[in-house]
Structure 1
Amino acid sequence: MMTIIFQELAIHSLTSPAPNIFRIRLSAPTLAEQALPGQFVMIRPLNIQEPLLPRPFSIHRVLGDRLDILFKVRGAGTHMLARMNKGDPLEIRGPLGKGFRFGEEEELVLVAGGMGVAPLLFAAEYWKGLFQGKARKKLRVFLGARTREELLGLDAFQRLGAELHVATDDGSFGEKGPITRLLQRVMVGRVTGVRLLACGPTAMLRSVQRWVMKKGIPGQLSLETRMACGLGACLGCVTARERGGTVSYVNVCQEGPVFDAREVVIHDRT
C-alpha cells in the first residue's frame, strides 16, 4: 500500500504560463518517487490563518525529484497560493487517490478540457516512459480551451511526439467549438487497440463518456470536484458509481478521482 506523506515543503518556483494560471514547482523527492498519474495532493499555505482547509490539486508533472502543480485562480485558496513567493512554506499531503491505469494498448488518446490538462501531461510522460525502447506506440492528444491564451501543454506534448488536435471556444487557435466535436470527427469508424483518458468540465466528460460507451473503447474519466480532507473522512466528495446493475456512493478522493467511464455517474456538481 502506498504511504501518504504529510510534510512541509518550500516553494521551489512559482510561474504563470497564462493569465490567471500558475505553476508551482516543489522539491519533493519522496513524493515524486511515489506519485502516479491521475493522483493528487492536498495543499495548504502555512503561516496564514485562512483558508483553514487544504485544497486538492492534480499532480501535473514529475521531473526527477521535483513535482509540478498547475492551477487556475478561482477562489480564496488559489488566490492566496498565486500570491506566494519562492521559499514560502506549504503543507502537503499526498499522493492521494487512485490514478490512471495502463495496459498493452497500441494507442493512448488524451482528451483535455481547460485545466483538465493538469493530470494528463503527467499521464502522457509516464506512459511514454513505460514503452521506451519497445514497439512504437501512438499518442494522440485532444486539447480544448476557451481561448488561445488558456491552451496549455502544447510544446510539452509535441516534444513527446503526440499527434495534436486543438479546439478553442472562440476559434482563436485550432478549430472553433468543443473539443469533443473534434474528437468525434477525427476518430471515425472502427477504433481498436485504444485507451482513452479524459479530464475537464462536466459537460465534456459526459460527452466523452457517451462516445466511448458507443464505440466500446476503454475509457477513464478524472473528475474535478471539491474536497475538504482528501482522506474520505468528511464525505464531501461523494459520487455515484454503478457496478453490476447496483449503484453505490463512493468518495472521489479514495475511489477516484479517476473512474472507469462505464461505471461512474457524473453529476452536475463534479
Structure 2
Amino acid sequence: MRKLLPALLATLALLFVSACGSDDSGGGSGSSEGVGEDKDVELTQENFAEEISKAQLDAGTAHMTMTMDMMGTPITMEGDTVLADDPADVAMSLSMDMEGMGAPEGTSMDMRMVDQVIYMNMGQMTEDKFVKIDLTDESNPLGAEFSDILEQSNPAAQIEAMNDSITSFEEAGDGGEIDGVSTTKYNLTLDAAKVMEAQGQDTVGAPETFEYVMYVGEDNLPRQMDIEIPGMGTSTIEWSKWGEDVSIDAPSDDEITDQDPFGGMAGS
C-alpha cells in the first residue's frame, strides 16, 4: 500500500491538471473571455487534442467531478483547477473518499497543489493536518512519487502525447445538452501503452487500448468524458464552471504536519 497509494494518487491528480493550460498564474483566477463562444472549427483526429487544449487555455479555470468504478470499487472525487502554460503555475484542489483505496473507514482526503507543492490532509491518518510534499525537492522520496505531475501538466507535452496515442476517431453526432450546453459526441480509441508512457507509468500488463467517449461543446470545451479501461473499470469525468473565478491557497503553517501518512499502512 505504501508504494501503491502515492502512485495512484499521483495518477488521479494528473487527470485534474493535464492536457490543459492557461496564461493565468496558479492560485489565482482564470478569465471567462471566449468561454461559450462558437469556435467554428471542425474537430478532426489531427487537430482534436490541440483545439480542445486551446479552448481550455482560453477558459483558464474549471470545476471537475470524477466518478470511477475500479474493479467494483467506487471512487469519487471533486475539485477545481487553475490552469497554466507553465506547470509551475498550475494550481489544483480536490477532495475524495479514501475508503475505496483501502484507507480506514471514514477517511477522506483534501489535496491541494500550489507553487509546485502538494498538500494532503487525510483526516486521522495525518491528525487532520496537511502533509507537505515539495515536488522540486529531489531528496524527498515521497516527492519523487508525485514529480511526474509537474512534468506531465505541460499542455504541449499532453497535446503531443494525445495526438500520438489516438488510433481511431469518430464524430458520433448529437451528444445532448450537458451543463446547459449543447454537445457533440466523439468516440476515440487510444493506444494504452503510449498514454501510460506519457504519464510515466509502467506499461507491463497494460491493456491494448483505452476507449474514450467525449462530449464537447461548440466552444470546444469538454463537458464530459467516459473512459473504459479493459480489465480494470470505468471512469466518468464531468467539467463545469469553465472560466469562473477560482482561488486555491496553500494551508497555513499551523495546518501542516511532518507525519508520513503512508508509514503506518498495512503492507507498507
TM-score if structure 1 supplies the norm length?
A: 0.29
Bigger RCO (CA 8 Å, 6+ sep): 2
TM-score if structure 2 supplies the norm length?
A: 0.29
